Amino acid sequence: MSRFQSFRFTVAVVVILAAALPALARSRIVIAAGMQGGNYFRIGERLKTELILRKETLPVLEATEGSLENIMRLRDASSPVNVSLVQADALRFYLNENDDFREEFFVLGDMGKECVLLIASQAGEVQSAADLKQRPAGTLSVGGPGSGAAVTYKAMTSLAPEFSATQPVYEPIMEALLQLKTGSEFTRLRGVMLVQRPSRESRPIQVVLDNRDIYRFVAITTDDVPNLSLPDGTPVYSFEKVQVGGKSRPERPDVQTLCTRALLLGSRAKLDRELRDTLSTVMFEVRDQIAGTDP
């Protein structure tokens, strides 16, 4: 092969590869799955495993700050994310100001229940959720700005503006629990909120359950927060009594609270017909394994 022929061959290969790149990009499932170690990330890992086992595609799992970021990445045309895990109330909260987004996604599946766990000091003033509506205002730890608790407290405040009396702050949950335990005139912290599967015994829940003389779970009822619906009419919240703590724990307290759902969303624009068919088939066949069960 002459040098000129070799050059032409190289150029042809480059052109073919360049033309194939967009198709390759479209053929990959990219999942926005929340913080590493969290429930959403574990769901994403199980979905990724099922897709790899079927040899349908080579998915990518991206760690994020939480539901709102997952929505933004799903919607952003410049982002490769085409599948996202999202809290139902975060989706409703986003749709309140971005109604046109409802045409851009479809729901691949309900991935299970997540509930609000509101924690206060036994020695503190917060006896009920209604106390968070009372001034003088204090603060409520909700973890990071993209956490499920941060989103839920925004939604609660939009539904019941009196909750604005208590300011959400972005403090690590364990640090906030320590503040509640020590207490002093130097902290305005009134409580800690997290959103998780009630039977998941996360480290903060272990601390609370092991120190019931220090902490209390605070009830949230229909009198505290009005409900709202998703575009298909499904209620965003359920109000129920849940057992908190892993099944291996001999004493699991009942807590009256509000719960929402984890949703798996797909992008209409970024997923081609073949990938949508693959994802739908997987969800039909192994949704329960991907969603997982409580401990």
Say if residue 74's pLDDT is above 60: yes
List, for residues 129-158, the tens digit of each pLDDT value.
999 998 777 899 998 887 888 989 988 888
Give the pLDDT band (50/70/90) at residue 159.
confident
Q: Tell me, what's the pLDDT at 26?
A: 46
The pTM of the full predicted model, rounded to 2 decimals, is 0.80
Cα R_g (the chain), whole angstroms: 23
List, for residues 13-72, the tens digit of each pLDDT value.
444 444 444 444 446 899 999 888 788 899 999 999 999 987 766 899 999 888 889 999
Q: Tell me, what's the pLDDT at 294?
A: 62
Alpha-carbon distances, residue 217 vs 5, 51, 74, 102, 237 (angstroms): 76, 39, 35, 36, 19
Most confident of 21-35, 88-102, 173-187: 88-102
| Averaged pLDDT, 93-103 | 88
